Structure 1
């Protein structure tokens, strides 16, 4: 089941920034992206900067010690702990492949494992100190945008690079990180536009948005509202709730009173409590068209009775996960049941290794200075061994990731990405119905 092909433009982040959205059927057996659930985090009230604007300054030159060390700040505990295994598997697979090919700078790459601990504000800063003290040249993580925001200054002030496989908040679309922050997942400028387009294409004109009031939820809600209203739609209610909330009765009743055609729910695991509240107020999936996003697009078959979510639609960043790469991730962790953000974690790790080779050094500044160079305007290559061989032969390279092509913009974010569109079946699991490619230009 696929939607018709279309290619057109939507204003997304200001008059100078345009999103080019292209539908591409969901039947390919590609080797990229994800399929599942997740994500994060606070403080995105600001209007996103316009793409194509300021150029961020490069970090000052440094010299490393010759050993490339990664620190992992991925979730092992907390609300997003289910994302840890596939992300860690992606990192481990990449490091295994680098070391099997001879390592980087003549030495094996080393990993120091930590925990972002998304449920507690104290865990990530303490774990970051541990990783920095262990000599990490780059820290991979966090998954949660709010956690990444909380440790960004600590990491970058240590002249260490931070690279997340899962942050999507627009809070990172600026130069506040001194050139030390990168991510392999796209800004929610794109997911917000695709969601707004989906709601409009489904024939709805009056939309309500219920969202976590934090960097991830606020930014995504703002982008959905912006694009939907610019397309002529009406947002009848936009209702926030705090991440610490234990009751959503007032918020749900506010939305019910507005009688929207459709409802976008931007949340995490609390979705299992929000949906029953919606049902009791006659605005559940059987009564209204409900939409989820990457934070709550999950397998809820164990949490809900059959049919509860049938017909709910959702968006999630990432192209189709091919069987070959899925098998490779299972080699790194045979117990994997979910593969969400595994491809993005793999790509982030491989890119850092290639950046070290290109710059002939492992310092955070060298990695930051070379990530753009190894991901654009060179000979296309895939996999560490092939790309490293080209670099050693003196060629410029363009690494093509398993999560899709990765070309970083001036803020260290992908300038193009794919968003999947999914629909829930009677068993409360979801299936893909389309993929939308988007460029921010």
Structure 2
């Protein structure tokens, strides 16, 4: 082949000829097994991160009895993260959240921010969180509550920094409505306390029951502090519903006793939350038999391995309420820090939904060590925690939360049935 001197113009035809030859040579190279390897893009090595988590724990006030289990769960989660050797160290700073009637929580939140906490776990009560949410989120810090159930937080202006591992009470309303639709053939009345969940919970009960083919013939909201409810209760009884949903706690006993006095049996009474408590001690024997109660949270008896580990930290624990949700809050925050490779509120918040399984179609992991390995390998994780699948929505609410179903026996003590 004649070579062309450098600098001499090449005709279009010649260029086409060269292109043809080049194409043939490339084909020969491929057919002979020779190829040009694509450069492999190396992932940067993960950073060594240190995450300071603040804990707002009730060490005094009305919710004090829940504090020890929450503290133990947060400590256990931090221990599991640190033992995993996943390039992440978690330090915990704990402060008393006090009661919603005092200023303890506000002072504690300020102290935790001064301690450079990037994530704060708490508060437990809706009232506590409403006192501190602005202080925390306006500082660019993530707040994760293991117990808040108010629907007010679902659309709160929090810069997407507020999350919770306990469901909105509206989900509990749907669960109660579904139970009533399965068990009641006919009509129901709904009496609900305003302070418990606002209008969303009773609305969810009503809408779910109606979708099941039933009829709501009486619905009324009541003031939890009212001393005279006789007219509203009498109107509900006179409507002659086949069953009644009693949504609330302060007035639940009075309403239930009025229906029992009117001839209603236990299996016609439905309650939300801890309306009467596990033991209906203020009722005549057998009067609550068959009554149904809904309450958020998993069956503690199914997580004995977890509670046994908590007892190693605090052998005096008796009540494990909110422990699983507190543990999962720490794990989610830690995984979000790993996934974002950032120790900042914005960075952690940007990955909270993803690591919970709320987005990204990730691989399921049931503990931090396995979940961290998935993240550090560059893949997407879906952490299903001790409290169950969490699946956070983009407004911070868990969509995979568990609502327990309980039933009172002839001894007026309830047991979990679902």
Normalising to structure 1: TM-score of the pair? 0.73
Cα drift, residue 421 of structure 1:
1.7
Q: 1:283 to 1:335 in 2, by over 3 A?
A: farther
Q: 1:246 to 1:151 in 2, by over 3 A?
A: farther
Q: Which moved more, 1:322-331 or 1:65-74?
A: 65-74
1:382 aligned onto 2:366: yes
Q: What residue is the counterpart of 2:278 in the other structure?
A: 299
Q: In the alignment, which of 110, 115, 140 is matched to residue 159 of structure 1?
A: 140
Q: What residue is the counterpart of 1:400 in the other structure?
A: 384
Report if aligned partners of 1:381, 1:387 keep a CA contact under 8 Å in 2. yes
Instruction: Provide the rounded CA distance (Å) in 1 between the counterparts of 2:186 and 2:273.
Output: 23
Q: What residue is the counterpart of 1:109 in the other structure?
A: 91
Instruction: Provide the rounded CA distance (Å) in 1 between the counterparts of 2:239 and 2:104.
Output: 40
Q: What residue is the counterpart of 2:236 in the other structure?
A: 255
Cα drift, residue 116 of structure 1:
5.0
1:317 aligned onto 2:296: yes
Q: 1:109 to 1:250 in 2, by over 3 A?
A: farther
Instruction: Provide the rounded CA distance (Å) in 1 between the counterparts of 2:148 and 2:172.
Output: 12
Q: In the alignment, which of 68, 88, 105 is matched to residue 71 of structure 2?
A: 88
Instruction: Provide the rounded CA distance (Å) in 2 between the counterparts of 1:82 and 1:291.
Output: 27
Q: Which runs of 5+ in 1 are unaligned?
A: 1-64, 435-441
Report if aligned partners of 2:365, 2:383 keep a CA contact under 8 Å in 1. yes
Q: 1:301 to 1:294 in 2, by over 3 A?
A: closer
Larger Rg: 2
Cα drift, residue 220 of structure 1:
1.0
Q: 1:274 to 1:368 in 2, by over 3 A?
A: same
Q: 1:150 to 1:256 in 2, by over 3 A?
A: farther
Q: Which runs of 5+ in 2 are unaligned?
A: 1-47
Structure ranking higher on relative contact order (CA contacts 8 Å, 6+ apart) = 1
Q: Which moved more, 1:94-103 or 1:310-319?
A: 94-103
Q: Which moved more, 1:413-422 or 1:176-185?
A: 413-422
Cα RMSD after superposing both structures: 3.0
Q: In the alignment, which of 138, 143, 151 is matched to residue 170 of structure 1?
A: 151
Other structure's SS at 1:422 match: strand
Report if aligned partners of 1:72, 1:113 keep a CA contact under 8 Å in 2. yes
* 1:34-92 Cα deviation digits (max 9, x unpaired): xxxxxxxxxxxxxxxxxxxxxxxxxxxxxxx9642222234444554444443333223
Instruction: Provide the rounded CA distance (Å) in 1 between the counterparts of 2:97 and 2:220.
Output: 32
* 1:126-169 Cα deviation digits (max 9, x unpaired): 43333333332222222333443343222211111111122233
Q: 1:234 to 1:161 in 2, by over 3 A?
A: same
Q: What residue is the counterpart of 2:342 in the other structure?
A: 361
Instruction: Provide the rounded CA distance (Å) in 1 between the counterparts of 2:127 and 2:231.
Output: 25
Q: What residue is the counterpart of 2:6 in the other structure?
A: none
Cα drift, residue 375 of structure 1:
2.4
Q: What residue is the counterpart of 1:73 in the other structure?
A: 56
Q: In the alignment, which of 262, 285, 289 is matched to residue 282 of structure 1?
A: 262
Q: What residue is the counterpart of 1:237 in the other structure?
A: 218
Normalising to structure 2: TM-score of the pair? 0.76
Cα drift, residue 364 of structure 1:
1.4
Q: 1:78 to 1:399 in 2, by over 3 A?
A: same
Which one has the bigger helix percentage?
2
Q: In the alignment, which of 180, 187, 203 is matched to residue 222 of structure 1?
A: 203
* 1:334-389 Cα deviation digits (max 9, x unpaired): 23333233212211111111112222232211210121232233332222222223
Count residues with an aligned counterpart: 366
Report if aligned partners of 1:114, 1:127 keep a CA contact under 8 Å in 2. yes
Report if aligned partners of 1:278, 1:284 keep a CA contact under 8 Å in 2. yes
Cα drift, residue 274 of structure 1:
5.2
Cα drift, residue 246 of structure 1:
5.4
Instruction: Provide the rounded CA distance (Å) in 2 between the counterparts of 1:329 and 1:74.
Output: 16
Instruction: Provide the rounded CA distance (Å) in 1 between the counterparts of 2:206 and 2:127.
Output: 21
Report if aligned partners of 2:294, 2:406 keep a CA contact under 8 Å in 1. yes
Report if aligned partners of 1:137, 1:364 keep a CA contact under 8 Å in 2. yes
Q: In the alignment, which of 81, 86, 94 is matched to residue 98 of structure 1?
A: 81
Report if aligned partners of 1:104, 1:353 keep a CA contact under 8 Å in 2. no
Q: 1:102 to 1:158 in 2, by over 3 A?
A: same
Q: What residue is the counterpart of 1:187 in the other structure?
A: 168
Other structure's SS at 2:221 match: strand
Cα drift, residue 112 of structure 1:
1.6
